[in-house]
C-alpha cells in the first residue's frame, strides 16, 4: 500500500498536517510520499508563493482580507471557462503522468488547490483510487466548492452545514478533526512537565504567535506582567529573532521564559494552563488536543478571522480586542469558576487529539477493501 499526499507551502499548517498523517501511516507500514504541488510545477514557485503569502499577510492584511472575502462569498463552482479554471486544467497535465507513475492506493490533499487539480484528473479518468481532502481551518476555504473528491475531512461536525452550502454532500464528510502529530495526543501531567522543563510549579500562561512570531507579542507580555496574579509566562517567538532579543532585554516583574524556535512545543503545552495565540487552524488544534483553553489575538484577515468566529462561538476561546482587553479574558479564566468550567467543557468536546490516527485507519480500511475487490 502507498499513499500520495499533496500539499502547498503557504504557512506551515498544511505541511504539518501532512506530516501528522505520514507519521501515522508509517506506523502501519504504509509508504507515503509528500508532494509540494507548486514546487513540483516549478521549483521556484513554491518558495515564491510562501514568501509572497508571508509578505502579503504581514504588510497588506486588509487587501488580503478583502480578496478572501470576495472569494468566500462565491458558493458555486468556478466557471470552467474562467482564466483560473483553464490554467488549472493545463497545470493538471503536469500531474497526470506523475500520479499514474506513482500509482498510489489513495490520494490526500491538505490544501484546496491540489484538491482542484485532483478533481480535474478524476473527471478525466486518470485516477482510480480513493481521494481525500483535509480542511485545515475551522472554515471551508474558497475553491473547495470547485472540487469533487470522494471524502472530505472536517475539523468538526459543526462545520457540516457550511460544507453543504459549498456543495459538499454530507455523505462525503468525515468530521474527524484536523490531524496533529501523536505527541499532541499524549499528555503529561502539569507538575511532571514543569519539572522536566525547569519551570516553577505554578500557573503557566503560554504565548505563541506562529513560526514567524507575528502579532503584538511584546504588548501581550506587558499586559500579563501587569496583571495582579501569581503566574509565569512561557513565550515562543519562533523564527523572529528581533522579538526574542527585545523580550530578553526587557525587565519583567514576573518570570518570563523566552524561547525561539523549539521542537518540543507539546511539552510546554503540557506545562501550561492557557495559551494566547493567533487563531491558526493547526496551532489551535494542537492546543485543543492538549486540552488548553484559548485566548486569541492578531488574526490574519480571511481564514483566521473565520477561525475566531468558530472557536469563540463554540465556547473554546476568548477573543481579545481593543474593547475587550486581555485582562478581561484572564479574569474570566482565573476568577470566574462557572466560566472556567464552561470553557474547559467546550474544549473537551471540540478537541480531536486522535484525528490523524482515526483518519489513517479509515483510509487504510478503504484501501484494503479496494485491493480485495480487484483480486
Q: Which range has the worst mean pLDDT, 109-118, 151-160, 296-305, 311-320?
A: 296-305
Instruction: Give 39's Cβ-side CA count (13 Å radius).
Output: 13
Indicate if 168 and 25 belong to the same structural domain: yes
Indicate if 195 and 172 belong to the same structural domain: no
What are the Cα distances from residue 11, in Å, to 50, 95, 325, 335? 7, 23, 27, 36
More confident residue, 61 or 83: 61
More confident residue, 178 or 88: 178
For residue 211, report the phi and psi dihedrals to the nearest 5 degrees.
Answer: -65, -25
What per-residue confidence (pLDDT) applies to 76?
53
What per-residue confidence (pLDDT) applies to 187?
92
Indicate if 192 and 148 belong to the same structural domain: no
> In the chain, how many domains are there?
2
Indicate if 280 and 314 belong to the same structural domain: yes
pLDDT band at 62 (very low <50, low <70, confident <90, very high): low
Indicate if 10 and 149 belong to the same structural domain: yes
Indicate if 331 and 194 belong to the same structural domain: yes
What per-residue confidence (pLDDT) applies to 67?
44
Indicate if 119 and 34 belong to the same structural domain: yes
What per-residue confidence (pLDDT) applies to 212?
56
What per-residue confidence (pLDDT) applies to 278?
93
Rounded average pLDDT over 88-110: 88
Indicate if 31 and 90 belong to the same structural domain: yes
What are the Cα distances from residue 45, in Å, to 8, 48, 49, 226? 10, 5, 6, 46
Indicate if 99 and 62 belong to the same structural domain: yes
How far is residue 369's CA from residue 227's CA, in Å, rounded to a whole number? Answer: 58
pLDDT band at 143 (very low <50, low <70, confident <90, very high): confident
Indicate if 285 and 360 belong to the same structural domain: no
In terms of residues, how long is the chain?
375
Nearest-5° Cα angle at 248, 273 to 13:
55
Asked if residue 81 lies in contact with residue 39, where contact means CB atoms within 8 angstroms, the answer is no
Rounded average pLDDT over 261-269: 96
pLDDT of residue 296 exceeding 50, the answer is yes
| Mean pLDDT of the residues in the chain | 87
Q: Which range has the worst mean pLDDT, 54-63, 206-215, 240-249, 277-286?
A: 54-63
pLDDT of residue 195 exceeding 60, the answer is yes
- The contacts of residue 280 (CB under 8 Å, 6+ apart) are 11, 13, 137, 210, 304, 307
How far is residue 355's CA from residue 21's CA, in Å, rounded to a whole number? Answer: 9
Indicate if 204 and 312 belong to the same structural domain: yes
pLDDT of residue 273 exceeding 90, the answer is yes
- The contacts of residue 223 (CB under 8 Å, 6+ apart) are 325, 326, 327
pLDDT band at 41 (very low <50, low <70, confident <90, very high): confident
Q: Is 156 exposed, middle or buried (0-12, 13-18, 19+ CB in 10 A)?
A: middle
| Domain interval for residue 358 | 2-182+354-374
How far is residue 116's CA from residue 246's CA, in Å, rounded to a whole number? Answer: 43
Indicate if 207 and 81 belong to the same structural domain: no
Q: DSSP label at 10?
A: S
How far is residue 36's CA from residue 148's CA, in Å, rounded to a whole number? Answer: 20
CATH label of the domain that carries residue 202: 3.40.50.2000
Amino acid at each position: 500500500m502507498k499513499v500520495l499526499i499533496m500539499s502547498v507551502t503557504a504557512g506551515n499548517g498544511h505541511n504539518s498536517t501532512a506530516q501528522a498523517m505520514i507519521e501515522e501511516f508509517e506506523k502501519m507500514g504504509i509508504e507515503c510520499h509528500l508532494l509540494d504541488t507548486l514546487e513540483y510545477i516549478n521549483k521556484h514557485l513554491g518558495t515564491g508563493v510562501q514568501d509572497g503569502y508571508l509578505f502579503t499577510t504581514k504588510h497588506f492584511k486588509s487587501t488580503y482580507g478583502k480578496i478572501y472575502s470576495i472569494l468566500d462569498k462565491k458558493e458555486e463552482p468556478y466557471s470552467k471557462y474562467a482564466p483560473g479554471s483553464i490554467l488549472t486544467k493545463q497545470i493538471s497535465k503536469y500531474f497526470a503522468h506523475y500520479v499514474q507513475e506513482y500509482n498510489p492506493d489513495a490520494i490526500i490533499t491538505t490544501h484546496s488547490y491540489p484538491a482542484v487539480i485532483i478533481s480535474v484528473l478524476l473527471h478525466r479518468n486518470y485516477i482510480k483510487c480513493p481521494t481525500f481532502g483535509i480542511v485545515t481551518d475551522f472554515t471551508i476555504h474558497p475553491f473547495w466548492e470547485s472540487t469533487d473528491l470522494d471524502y472530505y475531512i472536517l475539523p468538526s461536525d459543526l462545520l457540516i452545514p457550511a460544507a453543504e452550502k459549498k456543495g459538499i454532500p454530507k455523505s462525503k464528510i468525515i468530521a474527524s478533526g484536523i490531524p496533529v502529530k501523536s505527541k499532541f495526543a499524549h499528555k503529561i501531567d502539569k507538575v511532571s512537565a514543569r519539572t522536566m522543563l525547569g519551570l516553577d510549579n505554578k500557573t503557566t500562561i503560554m504565548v505563541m504567535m506562529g513560526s514567524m512570531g507575528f502579532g503584538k507579542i511584546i504588548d501581550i507580555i506587558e499586559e500579563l506582567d501587569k496583571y495582579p496574579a501569581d503566574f509565569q509566562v512561557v513565550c515562543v517567538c519562533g523564527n523572529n529573532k528581533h522579538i526574542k532579543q527585545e523580550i530578553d532585554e526587557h525587565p519583567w516583574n514576573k518570570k518570563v521564559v523566552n524561547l525561539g524556535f523549539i521542537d518540543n512545543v507539546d511539552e510546554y503545552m503540557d506545562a501550561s494552563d492557557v495559551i494566547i495565540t493567533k487563531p491558526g487552524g493547526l496551532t489551535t488544534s494542537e492546543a485543543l488536543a492538549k486540552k488548553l483553553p484559548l485566548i486569541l489575538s492578531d488574526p490574519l484577515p480571511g481564514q483566521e478571522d473565520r477561525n475566531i468566529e468558530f472557536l469563540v462561538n463554540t465556547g473554546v476561546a476568548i477573543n481579545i480586542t481593543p474593547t475587550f482587553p486581555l485582562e478581561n479574558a484572564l479574569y474570566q479564566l482565573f476568577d470566574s469558576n462557572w466560566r472556567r468550567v464552561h470553557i474547559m467543557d467546550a474544549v473537551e468536546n471540540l478537541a480531536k487529539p486522535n484525528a490523524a490516527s482515526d483518519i489513517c485507519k479509515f483510509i487504510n480500511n478503504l484501501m484494503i477493501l479496494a485491493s480485495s475487490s480487484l483480486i
